[in-house]
Amino acid sequence: MRKFIIAFFLFCSIPAIATQTGDEFTRPLGHDLTSGFEHDFAEIRGVYGETAVKETGDAGSYVGRVCYFTSDNSAVFEFYRTEVTDGFAFRLPNPQDRLDCSPSEKRISSNDLNVNGVKLGMKRETYERLIGHNSKSPGITVKKTSTYITHCFERKEPFTAADNEEEYWYISVCLHAEFNKVGLISFKVSYLATD
């Protein structure tokens, strides 16, 4: 009986393995990446203020984005779309941002740039504990370097009855984090759904 109690105590003290699908990272600042953005980002620009839509590339290399500074100018956040993905990013500002980004009309601090617990300045170890996956988890790929970590959560979801052309949607949510010696300096989440 004593061995059972010890084994039960040890089992209960092991942290629960995260059952994340990546979807918990797809609602930055309350905007749903899974719904997609309009080509002109009208909804986003209605919340944070008028700014130019920066567009580069065409067809498969197209990227459109709107970019804003936080109220204290300590960080930049942007919403973007490509031919097949929608995404959100935040980072420390760089000199080019003075030309590309506008001040947010809505009061947003760098502390508000928190995507399911991911925030600027957090330590790499804290980030890895929060994400909680390694490359041996099914449906998840992880790539790491000395400064970057990328997690991609991939799965298939059946079409609804109205979508009867194919059998499945292929869903991918990728997280890209960049670190320096101090902590997180850039974070990006992208959402892709394709048949």
- Helix and strand tally (H, E) in the chain? 4, 9
Residue 72 to residue 116: CA distance in whole angstroms: 22
**Which sign does the torsion angle of CA 181, 182, 185, 190 carry?**
positive
Q: Between β-strands 184-194 and 54-56, what pairing exists: parallel, antiparallel or unpaired? A: unpaired
Q: What is the DSSP letter of 72?
A: T
Band of the pLDDT at 39, cuts 50, 70, 90?
confident
C-alpha span between 114 and 121 (Å, rounded): 11
Contacts of 54 (CB under 8 A, 6+ apart): 64, 65, 66, 67, 100
Answer yes or no: is pLDDT of 38 > 90. no
**126-167 pLDDT tens trace:** 999 998 766 566 778 889 999 999 999 998 877 766 655 667
